């Protein structure tokens, strides 16, 4: 700009020296940007302050916002004359403010080394040139600012012709796509960036119809061939005739976000241990299959599978071996199913398979293949090989049920029948009364449990939890028992059936109400366990929340314990339910911590307050240094995360002293106290204080 202006002003008004001073970005100084004549050597070095105005002629003119002419020589000057000007022998100076509208962009200085009169025409023409220069400088600065923004913004930016030739890209886009430099990327046609040509066609269709594309998520291909997800926003820039001149747009790399979304979606529908569907997703798919069977009459089958001797493996070899075995079972079952068949882990060692279309004979053939897959799992226990087996119940839809609940109940009952016949077999459900009469045990249990609930014959037992820091019992765990004919029935006899018969929700709601009453009356913390079925049952959750709202002070003393089995049933639903309970003041505990494949995942993502260290790490704590290292690590990790630890299975004084020395916060087990009717707990020597 300076060169163009100087070329004009050298001819008219025949200047002897010229200077173009630009205003600094903060408006506090003028900088010599270009010069011709004596001032050329000072370009880029000379800076003049704008305040006070009398500090220099350019400052004076810019503050006055009009041309100022100064004849050098004897006499007073309204402003100071810089020493370089005096040394150059300047006789006359004309200072012309460069104004682009209201914005001052600089000062143009015309100087004469010989004394002469400057006419009004010369001033007017020079002032016009200064105005043109002001607009040019303003546009150049705006372009420079836009260019710097274009290059520095962390999102990829581009301009391209309507036929796809790249006109310009910024550094962020070059880096995002892995090209060595800008020129290498500009040589690539824009259509080649899209991993799928159909996506480019959709993009082009939107541009043609709307003239703008926003939030367009698509896969692009990097220079090395790897795929990334980008989020595009583009628009058409038109010429004066309204025709598309070029496209400009942005592309943000959202690969990480897409990966996280995919992981969350996977966790919401899959069991993180085995990769099979979880209960929630399986029931959704089963709803779809049963509804289709009702419409078309095309038969399908539900297989309900329960491992027969898995508990022995877990107890004798540990939960890690159990986890490995579950993964192997799922892998081998999947290998015997079709791509369209559905496989889910419904609980700890329970699985569901849905197949359609099949008849009864085909469904039983699938069941036999599943049982073969389970039998292939052989483990060594006590030096002897133990073969895993399973019991499988088979129900057809729509033959054995027109709803998901009916089909599940039929398959569940058939599975129980298979287990009652010794296991390692599959049983097909039969509707006839004679078949049901032969295997009525589950129905009897259903009647007995419902009667116990209706007649208030459930009994709350309590087991003390010792605070190792204060050596006092301030917590207890509520455990349910059933009273029948004067006898107390162990939970092992009826809770598994209550799970299968879908009565566990009512039992959990009952124990929650009892725990709240006890906590309110005696001012102690009470722990309760909630089943996976309860956590996924919205009606029961609402009932529990209502009880918490009715006793808000007691709710703050309630600790809800969940196992990893509960969590894996439906991660998303479990998290939602726990957040609701926590919002009512409850505390949360992760039971059996340390033995599950995903314990650390749940510790990170679930808002738990307590970790109950599994008894398998406590049982041999005194003799096994490896167990001591694990328990100490869990205690240290929990303390660092602001959570407390509870040792389960403390059976003697030596183990109690060991867990205390390792930094565990609480202890529970027969050495602390056996489960007793809740009222008797308060009569013991460790009576909790209010």
Q: Report H helices in 584-623.
A: 599-605, 615-618
The packing angle between helices 2-11 and 120-152, to 10°, is: 170
Looking at residue 285, its pLDDT comes to 93
Gap between the Cα atoms of 185 and 551, Å rounded: 66
**Per-residue pLDDT tens for 487-520?**
888 786 678 778 777 889 999 999 999 999 999 9
Sheet holding 92-100, edge to edge: 47-49, 29-36, 17-23, 103-112, 92-100, 68-71
Gap between the Cα atoms of 546 and 190, Å rounded: 59
Nearest to 377 by CA among 330, 411, 421, 343: 330
In sequence order, which residues have a C-beta less than 8 Å from that of residue 290 and are 6 or more positions away?
300, 397, 398, 401, 402, 403, 404, 407
| Mean of pLDDT over the chain | 86
Q: Considering the entire predicted model, what is its pTM?
A: 0.45
Gap between the Cα atoms of 510 and 500, Å rounded: 18
Q: Report H helices in 39-119.
A: 57-64, 83-88
The packing angle between helices 404-420 and 279-296, to 10°, is: 110
Q: Which residues of 276-298 are buried (b: 16+ CB within 10 A; e: fewer)?
A: bbbbbbbbeebeebbebbeeeee
Q: What secondary structure letter does DSSP report for 664?
A: -
Looking at residue 376, its pLDDT comes to 87
Looking at residue 75, its pLDDT comes to 72
Q: Report H helices in 551-652.
A: 552-555, 564-569, 571-583, 599-605, 615-618, 625-640
For the chain, residues with pLDDT lower than 70 are 13, 145-154, 315-316, 381-384, 420, 432-444, 492-493, 564-572, 595-605, 683-690
**Per-residue pLDDT tens for 210-246?**
999 988 999 999 999 999 999 999 999 988 888 899 9
**Per-residue pLDDT tens for 451-488?**
888 898 999 999 999 999 888 888 999 999 989 888 88
Gap between the Cα atoms of 20 and 5, Å rounded: 9
Q: What secondary structure letter does DSSP report for 683?
A: T
Looking at residue 651, its pLDDT comes to 92
Looking at residue 121, its pLDDT comes to 85
- Share in percent of the chain as helix, strand, coil (round to 5): 45, 25, 30
Looking at residue 386, its pLDDT comes to 72
Looking at residue 635, its pLDDT comes to 92
Collapsed DSSP state (helix, strand, coil) of residue 219: strand
**Per-residue pLDDT tens for 293-329?**
988 888 999 999 999 878 777 766 777 888 888 999 9
């Amino acid at each position: 700009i300076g060169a163009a202006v100087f070329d004009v002003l050298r001819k008219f008004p025949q200047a002897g020296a010229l200077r173009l001073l630009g205003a600094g970005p903060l408006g506090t100084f003028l900088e010599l940007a270009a010069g011709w004549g004596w001032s050329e050597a000072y370009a880029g070095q000379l800076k003049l302050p704008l305040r006070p105005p009398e500090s220099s002629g350019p400052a004076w003119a810019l503050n006055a916002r009009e041309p100022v002419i100064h004849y050098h020589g004897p006499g007073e000057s309204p402003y100071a004359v810089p020493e370089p000007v005096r040394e150059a022998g300047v006789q006359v100076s004309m200072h012309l403010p460069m104004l682009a509208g209201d914005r001052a962009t600089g000062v143009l200085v015309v100087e004469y080394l010989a004394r002469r009169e400057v006419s009004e025409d010369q001033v007017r023409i020079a002032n016009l040139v200064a105005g043109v220069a002001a607009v040019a400088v303003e546009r150049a600065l705006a372009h420079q600012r836009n260019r710097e923004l274009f290059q520095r913004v962390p999102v990829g930016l581009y301009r391209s012709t309507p036929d796809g030739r790249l006109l310009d890209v910024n550094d962020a886009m070059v880096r995002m796509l892995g090209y060595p430099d800008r020129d290498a990327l500009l040589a690539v046609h824009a259509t080649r960036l899209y991993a799928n040509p159909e996506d480019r066609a959709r993009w082009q269709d939107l541009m043609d119809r709307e003239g703008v594309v926003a939030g367009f998520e698509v896969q692009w291909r990097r220079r090395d061939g790897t795929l990334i997800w980008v989020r595009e926003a583009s628009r058409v820039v038109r010429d004066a005739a309204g025709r598309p001149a070029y496209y400009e747009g942005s592309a943000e790399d959202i690969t990480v976000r897409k990966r996280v979304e995919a992981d969350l979606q996977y966790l919401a529908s899959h069991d993180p241990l085995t990769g099979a569907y979880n209960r929630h997703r399986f029931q959704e798919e089963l709803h779809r299959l049963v509804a289709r069977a009702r419409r078309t009459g095309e038969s399908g089958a539900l297989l309900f599978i329960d491992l027969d001797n898995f508990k022995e493996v877990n107890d004798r070899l540990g939960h890690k071996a159990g986890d490995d075995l579950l993964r192997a079972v799922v892998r081998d079952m999947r290998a015997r199913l079709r791509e369209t068949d559905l496989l889910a882990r419904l609980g700890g060692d329970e699985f569901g398979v849905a197949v359609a279309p099949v008849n009864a004979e085909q469904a039983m053939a699938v069941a036999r293949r599943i049982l073969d897959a389970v039998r292939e799992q052989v483990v060594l226990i006590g030096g002897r090989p133990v073969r895993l087996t399973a019991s499988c119940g088979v129900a057809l839809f729509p033959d054995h049920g027109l709803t998901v609940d009916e089909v599940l109940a039929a398959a569940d009952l058939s599975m129980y029948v298979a287990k009652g016949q010794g296991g390692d077999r599959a049983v097909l459900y039969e509707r006839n009364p004679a078949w049901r009469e032969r295997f009525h045990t589950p129905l009897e249990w259903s009647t007995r449990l419902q009667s116990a609930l209706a007649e208030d014959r459930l009994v709350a037992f309590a087991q003390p939890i010792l605070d190792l820091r204060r050596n006092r019992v301030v917590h207890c765990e509520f455990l349910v028992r059933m009273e029948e004919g004067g006898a107390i029935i162990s939970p092992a006899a009826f809770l598994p059936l209550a799970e299968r018969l879908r009565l566990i929700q009512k039992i959990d709601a009952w124990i929650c109400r009892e725990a709240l009453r006890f906590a309110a009356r005696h001012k102690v913390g009470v722990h309760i366990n909630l089943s996976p079925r309860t956590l996924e049952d919205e009606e029961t959750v609402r009932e529990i929340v209502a009880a918490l709202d009715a006793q808000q002070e007691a709710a703050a003393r309630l600790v809800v314990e969940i196992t990893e089995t509960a969590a894996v049933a439906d991660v998303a639903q479990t998290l939602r339910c726990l957040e609701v309970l926590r919002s009512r003041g409850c505390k949360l505990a992760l039971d059996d911590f340390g033995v599950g494949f995903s314990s650390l995942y749940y510790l990170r993502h679930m808002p738990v307050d307590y970790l109950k260290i599994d008894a398998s790490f406590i049982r041999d704590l005194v003799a096994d240094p490896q167990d001591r290292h694990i328990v100490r690590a869990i205690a240290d990790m929990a303390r660092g995360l602001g959570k407390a630890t509870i040792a389960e299975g403390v059976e003697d004084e030596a183990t109690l002293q060991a867990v205390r020395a390792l930094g565990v916060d609480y202890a529970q087990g027969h050495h602390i106290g056996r489960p007793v009717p809740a009222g008797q707990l308060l009569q013991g020597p460790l009576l909790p204080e209010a």
